[in-house]
Structure 1
Amino acid sequence: MTDHQPGRHMAAEIDQQPGIFDGLLARRDGIASVASAIAARKPRFVLLAARGSSDHAALYAKYLTEVLLELPAGLVSPSTTTLYGAQPDLRDVLVVSVSQSGGSPDLLEVTESARARGALTVAVTNTASSPLNAAAELSVDVGAGVEQAVAATKTYSATLLALYLLVDAIRGGNGSAAASLGDLARSTLDSSADAVAEAVQRYRFVDRVLTTGRGYSLPTALEAALKLAETSYLAARAYSGADLLHGPVAAVDAETAVLAVTSSGKGGDALHDVLDAVHGRGADVLAVGSASDKVSAALRIPVAETAEEVAPILEILPIQRLAHGLALARGGDPDNPRGLNKITRTR
């Protein structure tokens, strides 16, 4: 016998995020000291290593690196090291390994190998005592606390914020664009609740969902598809808005639900024509973001407006609530999705 209420851990962890943001912002000086060490080394290239939700956070950091630091950046393919034994020259390269647990064997091996080949290595994790932190030269603790639900919520958003603060500090910023995120997260969760509840009822019987975004919001679209797939077992697929028009749009019809992440800024502006095309094919569009009222959609979930580069930290909050609500409405337990464990060990 158990008294576990389905989804209670995930619900609680979603609600904890505003306070976690406040805590991270209060510890910005520690992140800035890591950034100073990185800036002093003057890396010429940035590589990001991650898996799962952390891979979406790494993609967000890739956008930050290329736009704010104007440095080339790429995502590591761990198997080139773990399976094929490749040994590239990584002098003057910054390797950032992103992992909630810090316990994935492949990320540990990638980090150790990169450090041995001359890279400056940084671990961004939620587990300060993890093997990954020990392997990296520098580390950033995202400080989200223990996460009980299998589906990552607070660790994902806290990782986004930690990565933003790190990149911003490397360029000499003071974190001002993120300063009010704790309060904005509270207002976003509160103001979006009714629209999320309406979306749960509207999409509870849908079988196929397509998610899309541009620019900084693409990682949010990818994370949205993952959350819907792992908690509600939906056939969810994410596309960049740019790629969507290059073929996949042909599969969009009146039976397709499209979750579009659209916030104020260049990425949201670039999504307008895409959503006009999708809407014209009869798809049921759910727009999420601070610019959701500016696009063609059947339903909109508002998000507080921020500088575009920090919008993903807020965009994901109502989507997590949506995934939680849909899982419960479809008879599942988002705390314990079938076939999944909190730590996935890959090589």
Structure 2
Amino acid sequence: MTSSEQRPGAHMSAEVAEQPEVLAGLVERRTGIAEVAEHIARRPPRFALLAARGSSDHAALYAKYLIEVLLGLPAGLVSPSTATLYGAEPDLRDVLLISVSQSGGSPDLLEVTEAARRQGALTVAVSNTPSSPLTRAAELAVDVAAGPEQAVAATKTYTATLLALYLLVDAIRGGRAEHVRDLGDRARRTLDGSAEAVEHAVDRYRFVDRVITTGRGYSYATAAEAALKLAETSYLAARAYSGADLLHGPVAAVDEETAVLAVTSRGRGGAAMHDVLDAVVARRADVLAVGSAAADVPAALSVPVLETAEEVAPILEVLPIQRLALGLSLARGGDPDRPRGLRKITRTR
């Protein structure tokens, strides 16, 4: 079968299914990530900065929570245009800069990394392309080892990046990856155990036009990635909000025509979502809850996810959401492998 005859969604479907194996393999090969972590630990930073775009930006948001909570360091997301458009060169001595890019080919991230290294930062590239310009520009590199990804919508590279960032932060604090040793198996069980609920969700939401995605804590990154996946594969008007931010104004736009995808896993972030969901349910929104605590909140439909430590829950939470985006795209007559106007590598400056 030629590429032009490839059935719609074949690449995305296959790559979603590959993730348990990819994640298990990355855990097994974590020694290289631990060596990068040891180098960082020998030069303790004052704070950390993260540079990324697209899905990688959501992985960076996840890493921001990891760094602030598990390492106790201030962390922020870089605005690449401050360097690429405005030529800013802040003093970055004793700063850790982590650049996250699946392809490692975006010119703005390359320029940010090169500028940060000149300004004294310890630079780390996290990428699925070991030979990329970004990897060569950084002092240290982490290979997420997801293998070639054919679908435009990132799936296995996204979860592998999350895991690589977790393994890096965990190793910096002296951890031994206790919470992810069986992650590959948990990922497989999550995909299998959520399949029926995802099918029901596709049937229920195939004609929806407006979606709000929301989560708190570590799961805010999952909500952001969910909105992107729904927008790029199904062309939905999807917007992500932190649960707290949703209550600070945007909830006024929620009504019975609004679908709300709420990411709710067990832990402090999930517990903080109860007031948020009470508010959107009171406004008659149609709620789809995804996560290990999905059954504990008011929702029209719940998609189960295996429970794990809260700080690694985003790696599992996003799996059924990827399947949801795939299913909705196909149900609406689209092809998630060929979203209109998009390419696998987006070059920005």
- Looking at structure 2, the residues matched to 209 and 79 of structure 1 have their Cα atoms a distance apart, in angstroms, of 29
Q: Quick one: which of 89, 103, 106 aligns to 2:105?
A: 103
State how 1:180-259 maps to structure 2 within 5 Å: 180-259=182-261
Counterpart for residue 165 of structure 1? 167
Counterpart for residue 138 of structure 1? 140
Q: Quick one: which of 313, 323, 326 aligns to 1:324?
A: 326
Give the secondary-structure state (helix, strand or coil) at the position aligned to 2:241: strand
- Looking at structure 2, the residues matched to 316 and 293 of structure 1 have their Cα atoms a distance apart, in angstroms, of 17
Report the alpha carbon displacement of residue 4 of structure 1 after superposing the two structures with TM. Answer: 1.1
In the alignment of these two chains, the number of paired residues is: 347
Report the alpha carbon displacement of residue 300 of structure 1 after superposing the two structures with TM. Answer: 0.2
Counterpart for residue 267 of structure 1? 269
Report the alpha carbon displacement of residue 29 of structure 1 after superposing the two structures with TM. Answer: 1.0
- Looking at structure 2, the residues matched to 254 and 80 of structure 1 have their Cα atoms a distance apart, in angstroms, of 41
Give the secondary-structure state (helix, strand or coil) at the position aligned to 1:259: strand
Structure 1 residue identity aligned to 2:257: E
Counterpart for residue 62 of structure 1? 64
Report the alpha carbon displacement of residue 185 of structure 1 after superposing the two structures with TM. Answer: 0.2
Counterpart for residue 303 of structure 1? 305
Q: Quick one: which of 269, 293, 296 aligns to 2:295?
A: 293
Give the secondary-structure state (helix, strand or coil) at the position aligned to 1:192: helix
- Looking at structure 1, the residues matched to 195 and 6 of structure 2 have their Cα atoms a distance apart, in angstroms, of 24
Deviations 1:35-75 (A, max 9, x none): 00000001111000000000000000000000000000000
- Looking at structure 1, the residues matched to 5 and 64 of structure 2 have their Cα atoms a distance apart, in angstroms, of 43
Give the secondary-structure state (helix, strand or coil) at the position aligned to 1:297: coil
Deviations 1:52-111 (A, max 9, x none): 000000000000000000000000000000000001000000000000000000000000
Across the aligned residues of Structure 1 and Structure 2, the Cα RMSD in angstroms comes to 0.6
Give the secondary-structure state (helix, strand or coil) at the position aligned to 1:172: coil
- Looking at structure 2, the residues matched to 118 and 252 of structure 1 have their Cα atoms a distance apart, in angstroms, of 46
- Looking at structure 1, the residues matched to 314 and 23 of structure 2 have their Cα atoms a distance apart, in angstroms, of 13
Q: Quick one: which of 1, 4, 7 aligns to 2:6?
A: 4
Counterpart for residue 78 of structure 1? 80
TM-score by length of structure 2 reads: 0.99
- Looking at structure 2, the residues matched to 115 and 244 of structure 1 have their Cα atoms a distance apart, in angstroms, of 37
- Looking at structure 2, the residues matched to 23 and 140 of structure 1 have their Cα atoms a distance apart, in angstroms, of 14
Structure 1 residue identity aligned to 2:118: A
Q: Quick one: which of 34, 41, 46 aligns to 1:39?
A: 41
Percent identity reads 78
Deviations 1:9-46 (A, max 9, x none): 00000000000011100111110000000000011110
Counterpart for residue 16 of structure 1? 18
Q: Quick one: which of 253, 275, 281 aligns to 2:283?
A: 281
Give the secondary-structure state (helix, strand or coil) at the position aligned to 2:212: strand
**1:153 paired to 2:155:** yes
Structure 2 residue identity aligned to 1:5: R
